[in-house]
Amino acid sequence: MREGLPPIALGLLLLLVSLPAAAQSPATSRCQPTLAPRGAGPQVADTAFDPPLVRQAFPPDQGPLVLIDEAHFNFHTREGRYAPFARLLTRDGFVVRSLREPWTRAALGSAKILVVANALAERNARGNWTLPTPPAFREAELATVRDWVADGGALLLIADHMPFPGANETLAGAFGIWFSNGFATDSTCSADEFVFRRADGTLADGPMTQGRQRSERIDSVRSFTGQAFRVSGRAQPVLTLGRGSVVLLPTSAWVFSDSTPRLAAEGLLQGAAVLHGKGKVAVFGEAAMFSAQVSGIQRRPMGMNAPTAAQNGQFLLNVMHWLAGLLDQQ
């Protein structure tokens, strides 16, 4: 892997943030930002959510070891907002544990899959979601995981809207992925959901959407705001933002105005599959799609529990099956 990738990623990020609002393309000319959080209240795990399981992949407690990173002020953890994520994987036979120590070969141990969901540096971990967004990881940790994946490990990297892309930029850059540290939305800069469909080409046909059998086929996936990114090298798009998509680039999360820099995002990604050496990386620019949360006093569903996201749960399993090598055998 080229040592220059993280600085290049940083350079791209600075370019995006410096983009003047007056230099908008026609695709962003309708943008009048009204994007806002989904509810005036905390996002908490939906403990009642229990999605169907078509066919268990492994005998109970005998599947690959999955470590969920909790050593980097992660917004999503195994017993927190990603509890439904962990519970679904456990039902599928995976062994799911938390990783609460810095990344070393010894810490990764016999794990097959490392999940990194919305890691943060300490500066932004206590609700200070303003620029700058320093890296969440030490250089030694980046080298460890890059080499671990090259030797056959599998990484599920998830970084949501700003400030998470900035905090995860160096990890993404180690695998040829360039994050935009902003908020993805539609051409009006108001929509807080995307639907990726096989029928219109925004959902790619491939192992993650084919599954092991016809009952696991995915025709649509719904995400909830998030960011957008680019990939290079041995990578395949999975979720591609459609016509009129925009990325807003504020200096403080959820604070927008008509002068907020923005980027036309048609063709940028919210999901991709990357091959690195002998290993794999699945990268997604939105975290809630793999959660099951409720927010605000209305307990508005967000994630796999949303009535309009019926295939998200199976999509998560397909992603994990690809990382585990099951779909390579199909």
Measured at the alpha carbon of residue 269, what is the angle toward residues 295 and 288, in degrees to the nearest 5? 15
Q: Is the confidence at residue 198, as pLDDT, over 90?
A: yes
Q: Is the confidence at residue 60, as pLDDT, over 70?
A: yes
Buried b (16+ CB within 10 A) or exposed e, 305-326: bbeebebbbbbbbbbbbbbbeb
pLDDT band at 330 (very low <50, low <70, confident <90, very high): low
DSSP for 180-226 reads -SSEEE-TTS----EEEETTTTSB--SHHHH-SSGGG---EEEE-S-
Q: Which H helix or E strand runs over 238? A: strand 235-240
The answer for 148, left when phi > 0, alpha when psi is -120 to 50, beta otherwise, is alpha
Instruction: Output the pLDDT for position 9.
Output: 41
Instruction: Output the pLDDT for position 298.
Output: 83
For residues 62 and 321, the answer to whether their CB atoms sit within 8 Å is no
Q: Is the confidence at residue 275, as pLDDT, over 60?
A: yes
Instruction: Output the pLDDT for position 18.
Output: 35
Q: Is the confidence at residue 24, as pLDDT, over 60?
A: no
Instruction: Output the pLDDT for position 40.
Output: 67
Answer with the residue of higher pLDDT: 270 or 296: 270
Instruction: Output the pLDDT for position 95.
Output: 98
- Compute the average pLDDT of residues 181-190: 97
Query: Which of 211, 185, 187 has the alpha carbon at shortest distance from 198?
Result: 211
Instruction: Output the pLDDT for position 162.
Output: 98
Q: Is the confidence at residue 22, as pLDDT, over 60?
A: no
Question: What's the structural domain count of the chain?
Answer: 1
Give the largest CA-CA distance in the chain: 57
For residues 318 and 53, the answer to whether their CB atoms sit within 8 Å is no
**Rounded to an integer, what distance in angstroms lies between the CA atom of residue 83 and that of residue 248?**
30
Whether omega before 261 lies within 30 degrees of 0, making that bond cis, reads no
Instruction: Output the pLDDT for position 28.
Output: 61
Instruction: Output the pLDDT for position 296.
Output: 81
Answer with the residue of higher pLDDT: 19 or 124: 124
pTM score: 0.92
Q: Is the confidence at residue 12, as pLDDT, over 60?
A: no
Instruction: Output the pLDDT for position 27.
Output: 52
Structural domain span for residue 202: 5-329
Q: Is the confidence at residue 17, as pLDDT, over 60?
A: no
- Compute the average pLDDT of residues 267-286: 98
CATH classification at residue 273: 3.40.50.880
- Compute the average pLDDT of residues 235-243: 97
Query: Which of 254, 301, 314 has the alpha carbon at shortest distance from 49?
Result: 301
Instruction: Output the pLDDT for position 196.
Output: 98
HSE toward the beta carbon, residue 65, CA cutoff 13 A: 12
Query: Which of 235, 245, 328 has the alpha carbon at shortest distance from 282?
Result: 235
For 283, the token pair is 């990268």
With 0-12 / 13-18 / 19 or more C-beta atoms within 10 angstroms meaning exposed / middle / buried, residue 50 is: middle
- Compute the average pLDDT of residues 143-160: 98
